[in-house]
Amino acid sequence: MASPAMRKGAALRASGTWQPLVNPVFRALWIAVLFSNIGNWMETVGAQWLLVSQPGNTILVALVQTADTLPVVLLALPAGVLADVFDRRLLLIATQLFLAVVSVTLAGLAAVGQLTPGVLLTLTFLGGAGSGVTAPAWQAMIPDLVPRTEIRASSVLGSVSVNVGRAVGPALAGLLIAALGVAPVFALNATSFVVFAGVLVWAHVGRKDAPSRRERFLPALRAGGGYVRWSPYVRRVLIRAALFLLPATAIWALLPLVATEALHLDAAGYGVLLAALGLGAIGGVLELGRLRARFSEDGLLALASLAYATAMAVLVLVPLVAVAFAMLIVAGMAWLTVLSTVNATLQTFLPGWVRARGLAFYLIVLFGSQALGAAIWGVVAGQIGLTATFVAAAVVMVGATLTGRRWRLPDVSGLDRSPAVYWPEATLAFEPDADAGPVLVTTAYSVPVAKSAAFVTAMSDLERSRRRTGASDWQLYRDGADPQRFLEVFEVPSWDTHMRQHGGRLTGADAAIEARAEALASTPSSVHHYFPADDVPVEGSGQDEVIREGSSAASVGQPDALSQDEERSSASADTET
């Protein structure tokens, strides 16, 4: 008989790829985002094509992608905080209107012939800044639009949107540039932002995990960094993404030069090559379900990376348009497979209170790797030529794929990611201010000597849970006079942070981790809260004891059996702990 975790994992994988489109709000927003993606790709092609004829075109063309992606790296984490703290819909509306102004400015300057390379890259940078604010808010909004069982499907649909935009946008841009010039391309992109903002005004999206009170910016920023720092699974996902993206960016950054110098194509021909990447990604959607049934996530990532490396090498070693078109279709399928797998995994894994901030780290890796990779491969191409650069990138990709075996990804689809409010309310002798702190929390356990080794192992998992949800320091002590007595001590920056731990930061998986430790104790644990002496009123004790029933925590959530191996072997599977 299948376990509850296995049944939940099967349910998450069972949703059809197109199922989320049945939801009218999701469907309208998805179509608006699709239109925006088409406009963005049109604008990218227009910007790159303006620079192809400039002196130093190798570096200038690559810098278009750097200027577009670097702001996302710089702003993704602050934007993730804003998306977790404020109304995501209003934030998105304001950002789309800003992006529309940027694109209108590009169109106006292009129309009068005043769009110099410096101005073009500056405005591209501003557009990238708007994208940096948009991305985490939109990604974090998706679980508010669809059920949890459809998050993976909606993530794949997001990749479909990007890649349909990649297929249609460049081809349309090539036709418009050939017929009317670059200015209409920028103007059409401005229209796409206005359309997206209009749909957001119409769609009243409620937030499922809205906090009861707003976090302040800097504590929220630190909390997001702390979650990723103490979640080995998230770190592994980010490493695997970077290992693929850094060499893979060579195609995106240098394809305009492949089109003009190796294949001798015009703007329309370049658009067709980009369309091949998009068509390959769409084809990847049709094959992804079958591939997931045959391969693990690690197998999929390795297979896609090797296919991409092959496509990069053949693209320049056999400089024929038909071969290039076929290889770019393969590369598009591989690109979609890797990024949709990584994105869907994070979407389903991250708890609601920190989802936008966790996705912001993914966006930093996604766009940072592209920005850095584009600059690196642009410089390398200027030194050793296109053919040698693409072969070198392919070799790096193969090496990165082999190295990635060190960071295997386990199946975490069965973990309970729902908020778990299971700590008893702290009853104190006074009402602390939200800013009171730092607060020291101690928990005393009585553990039989025979179970002490297992207890220490279970507490190492609990340490990561405490730190992920807000603890700034953690220690476990053993009583020198009584070997059965253990004292857990952790510090949180403020009473507000501790109350957020009580009120929704913990998940069912965290509850299961704590339950395993409690089950090894012979008596219920006891908790004390300590405040700085000058924060405690003279008439209050400043502390209170709470008795936890060992059985109550043990009944919440699913066991996180993978987490205990993280510190034992760097190659073992682990979960968020």
Is residue 535 classed as helix, strand or coil in its secondary structure? helix
Within a domain: 576: no
Residue 171: inside a domain, yes or no? Answer: yes
Amino acid 115: pLDDT:
79
Would you say residue 239 lies in a domain?
yes
Q: Give a yes or no: residue 114 inside a domain.
A: yes
Say whether both 186 and 42 belong to one domain: yes
The CATH number of residue 258's host domain is 1.20.1250.20
CA dist., res. 23 & res. 489, Å (int): 47
pLDDT at 150: 78
Whose CA is closest to 353, among 211, 502, 510, 472? 211
Judged by DSSP in three states, 491 sits in strand
Which residue from 465, 510, 474 is spatially nearest to 492, judged by alpha carbons? 474
Q: Is the pLDDT of residue 122 over 50?
A: yes
In which element (H, E) is residue 279 found?
helix 267-294
Q: Does residue 340 sit in the same domain as residue 483?
A: no
Return the higher-pLDDT residue of 269 and 4: 269
Say if residue 351 is in the same domain as residue 458: no
Asked whether residue 172 falls in the same domain as residue 248, the answer is yes
DSSP 342: H
The pLDDT, as a whole number, for residue 413 is 66
Q: Confidence class of residue 211 from pLDDT cuts 50, 70 and 90?
A: low
Kindly state whether residues 257 and 116 are assigned to the same domain. yes
**Residues 64 and 197 both lie in one domain:** yes
Looking at 359, 383, 406, the residue that finishes a domain is 406
Same domain, 127 and 180: yes
Residues in the chain: 577
pLDDT digit string, tens, across residues 311-334:
999 999 998 889 999 999 999 889
Q: Do the beta carbons of residue 179 and residue 360 sit within 8 Å?
A: no
Domain tally, the chain: 2
Tokens of 446: 């009585």
Residue 565 has pLDDT above 50, yes or no: no
Cis ω on the peptide bond leading into residue 438 (within 30° of 0)? Answer: yes
Mean of all residue pLDDT scores within the chain: 80
- Give the model's confidence band at 5: pLDDT under 50 very low, under 70 low, under 90 confident, else very high: very low
Phi, psi of 433 (to 5 degrees): -70, 150
70-90 pLDDT, tens digit each: 787 788 888 888 888 878 888
Mean pLDDT, range 429-451, rounded to an integer: 90
Q: Pick the residue with more confidence: 34 or 179? A: 34
Residue 423 vs residue 12, higher pLDDT: 423
Do the domain assignments include residue 426?
no
Over residues 546-570, the mean pLDDT reads: 37
Tell me which residue range forms the domain holding 486.
Answer: 439-565
pLDDT for position 62: 66
pLDDT in tens, 252-308: 888 888 888 888 887 678 778 877 887 787 777 777 767 777 877 778 888 999 999
Mean of pLDDT values over 421-426: 82
Between CA 495 and CA 503 the distance in angstroms is: 12
Task: Examine the pLDDT at 339 and tell me if it is beyond 90.
Answer: no
Residue 96 has pLDDT above 80, yes or no: yes
Instruction: For residue 276, tell me if it sits in a domain.
Output: yes
Half-sphere exposure of 576 toward its Cβ, with a 13 Å CA cutoff? Answer: 32
Q: Where are the alpha helices (DSSP H) in 295-385?
A: 297-317, 321-349, 355-384
Residues 254 and 358 in one domain: yes
Encoded tokens for 564:
């205990």
> Closest by alpha carbon to 511, among 393, 425, 415, 407?
415
Looking up residue 522, the CATH number of its domain turns out to be 3.30.70.100
Residue 181 · residue 284 · CB < 8 Å? no
Structure tokens at 478: 């053993």
Confidence band (pLDDT; 50, 70, 90) for 564? very low
Percent of the chain topping pLDDT 70: 85
Helices (H) and strands (E) counted in the chain, each on its own, are 18, 5
How would you class 524 by CB atoms within 10 Å of its CB: exposed for 0-12, middle for 13-18, buried for 19 or more? middle
Q: Which of 257-261, 493-497, 535-539 comes out lowest in average pLDDT? A: 535-539
- Shared domain for 393 and 450, answered yes or no, is no
Last residue of a domain, one of 406, 426, 460: 406
pLDDT at residue 570 tops 50: no
Q: Across residues 343-349, what is the average pLDDT?
A: 81
415 vs 575, residue with greater confidence: 415
Q: Give domain status of residue 25, yes or no.
A: yes
Q: Are residues 396 and 451 in the same domain?
A: no
Last residue of a domain, one of 381, 406, 431: 406
C-alpha–C-alpha distance, residues 225 and 354, integer Å: 10
Average pLDDT over residues 522-530: 91
Which of 198-212, 318-332, 454-468 is predicted with the least confidence, judged by mean pLDDT?
198-212
Determine how β-strand 485-492 pairs with β-strand 526-530.
Answer: unpaired
In the numeric block, which tokens belong to residue 260? 């003009």
- Tell whether the model's pLDDT for residue 187 goes beyond 60: yes
Within this chain, do residues 382 and 491 fall inside the same structural domain, yes or no?
Answer: no
Residue 228 falls within a domain, yes or no? yes
Helix (H) or strand (E) holding 110: helix 88-111
What is the reported pLDDT for 313? 93
Report which of residues 426 and 92 the model is more confident about.
92
Q: Which range is most confident: 136-150, 354-368, 421-435, 518-532?
A: 518-532
Mean pLDDT of 85-103: 89
Do 481 and 546 lie in one domain? The reply is yes
